[in-house]
Chain A
């Protein structure tokens, strides 16, 4: 009786893309966190002077930000689902999960644009508007970058580029996506909840 074939030894890889993406994720997050720091400091100074932070004409409802937060948390689940699926060589589920992730991303951008049109912020008028537009637009840019990253990795996966032994690209794009969602959570608390 022939001896059973031994499983192939795991590939020892340097995981360059994941390490590089970790640095890039921190950099992208810090750019927005820095602006949130400026926002909170300015807000504290205005409130400390006895004024209200948001001008009367500005309306920042919590409904849309809550929906966006829920959607982005769901997208974190789906992008991790994609990683898990590709690790198990489950290609159908990985395509489905990556597609859903991108859909949540589009939904987030759409909802932010709607919120901008509804909020009544005049960027020419005051520092509050400058800060809110800058922070939320910077996060939109980060979200678009994450979507491009996930989209590229999805195309690579469609071309058979990743499998259970080599899934760095999917893991790296998922990492960047998670950081993007975490940064939105900070924006949600700092801008939309505390107002």
Chain B
């Protein structure tokens, strides 16, 4: 593998300094990456739970009776729920975790551009709150109040700007502020996955921003195409379907890549294969080319089918590597382990269902959710991915709780949250997959109402999983050790829990991908150490 040597940090032109303040001013004005990361994580869990509830209420509009609300309210709830889960939970949760963790993992004293990172948090949060207000006052997708709809699209742009700004800070940190000796092939898996996710994000999410600009310009003028009530969701639906939805899962692979070797207390053999698998998964998740409003029939085209099947391969490759590691290490059951296994299972189901969706003869693309134009099976597939992200969030929160909050997550809450994510993902995913298959298999038509209820229940369970994860983090306590497990392999475990301002008194020498294992003198059971 080609390696890239990192320039050594010297002089005063390296990581920017941040100062400590206390109280509310310390939070609102902080440029400390740990504070920014914690706020991202906390806010995203709350928004995620609310969005899943909104989605559950919106999907009930597909009942024969029409659900609890009028059709236009159901449409607004459904679209706001989807937007909220992607831009309010999945992306910002891992961005927040990365803002907090990546500087620690690469041995930096701060995130790159700390003020920009703080700005990314506040722009994103302002966008999320404005979006919520817009939906409540008859805005959102297809809303009746044009000014409120306009506000919703502006707030979506704010969400994207905030998230992209944060992604740039994280990627720049991993690329330029690595500790001496940490060549690029020694970067922790989560940091690598965030670089890949940031790269794909700057390539694809701005395309969505372009769509939003077109919608907004048309909305406040003639409403000829993109800005018309029917055109709004159609123009951006690609961002909430495969392959673009897999962008949410890129950091999931990174989380598993760091967790599983540590839990198994083994060095990852064939580390390059896992890094390549994460990179390949990221490359295949580019979805801005699959805009159905522009390219009619794109879902049945050969490229879509090839991508839908090909993306299974990197997940299988990574799963194989981690499976063998777990079999060798035989780790004892713990919250991070249970949540990691649940994550992998849900992600595998997600990519397999995604491949089935691309098989035209199965007719999974025909039955749509209300007036959205989005196939039910596609929303079901998104359910598996979102649930995998939720389970990964719980795994990450449980594993890195000492770094996030200074304590340890309650095993009960974490485990329950992981199981809720599993149940929620399966009910949500299978419910809508079977509902989508009802046009092909006539026996399912009579069960459509029951399947919609099951799906809504699954969405509510995912909301519950996120709430449990949040409660687990709030209640985290009792860490007496900087590395409670004693098996952490990457640099974040070389500092205190929670980390002090400036992160490291002294960064350990990095001579392999597992510097903490080297410090403990753990043997190289993989032949991977390259010191």
Contacts and interface: CB of A to CB of B under 8 A. Distances in A.
Interface of A: 11-16, 19-20, 23-24, 26-35, 37-38, 41-42, 123-127, 130-131, 133-134, 138, 166
The 9 tightest CB contacts between A and B, nearest first, are A34-B207, A34-B210, A14-B176, A31-B206, A124-B222, A30-B206, A35-B210, A27-B202, A23-B168
A16 B113 contact: yes
A125 B399 CA distance: 56
A125 B222 contact: yes
B198 to A, nearest CB: 7
Interface string B90-120: 0000000000000000000000110010000
B213 A138 contact: yes
Given A11-B10, A16-B177, A130-B225, A30 B168 contact: no
A144 to B, nearest CB: 15
Contacts of B206: 27-31, 34
Contacts of B204: 30
Nearest to A23: B168
Max chain A Cβ within 10 angstroms of own Cβ: one of B167, B177, B207: B207
B217 interface: yes
Nearest to B294: A41
Q: How large is the interface on B (under 10, 10 to 19, 20 to 34, 35 or more residues)?
A: 35 or more
Given A14-B7, A30-B203, A130-B226, A19 B172 contact: yes
B352 interface: no
A139 to B, nearest CB: 11
A38 B203 contact: no
Contacts, number: 120
Given A23-B198, A41-B294, A30 B207 contact: yes
A30 B202 contact: yes
Contacts of B167: 23
B203 A11 contact: no
Contact of B207 (A14, A31, A127, A130): A31
B10 A12 contact: yes
Given A16-B113, A123-B217, A34 B288 contact: yes
Given A20-B113, A123-B217, A138-B210, 4 more contacts: A11-B10, A14-B14, A23-B171, A166-B13
Contacts of B8: 12
B70 interface: no
A18 B49 CA distance: 38
B215 to A, nearest CB: 9
A38 B225 CA distance: 12
A32 B11 contact: no
B217 A11 contact: no
30 contacts: A11-B11, A12-B7, A13-B14, A14-B7, A14-B177, A16-B176, A16-B177, A19-B171, A19-B176, A20-B168, A23-B167, A23-B198, A27-B202, A27-B205, A30-B203, A31-B206, A31-B209, A33-B207, A33-B210, A34-B208, A34-B211, A37-B207, A38-B214, A38-B291, A41-B294, A124-B221, A125-B222, A127-B218, A130-B214, A134-B217
B295 interface: yes
Contacts of A27: 164, 168, 202, 205-206
Contacts of B202: 23-24, 26-27, 30
Nearest to A39: B214
B479 interface: no
Interface in B187-224: 198-199, 202-211, 213-214, 217-218, 221-222, 224
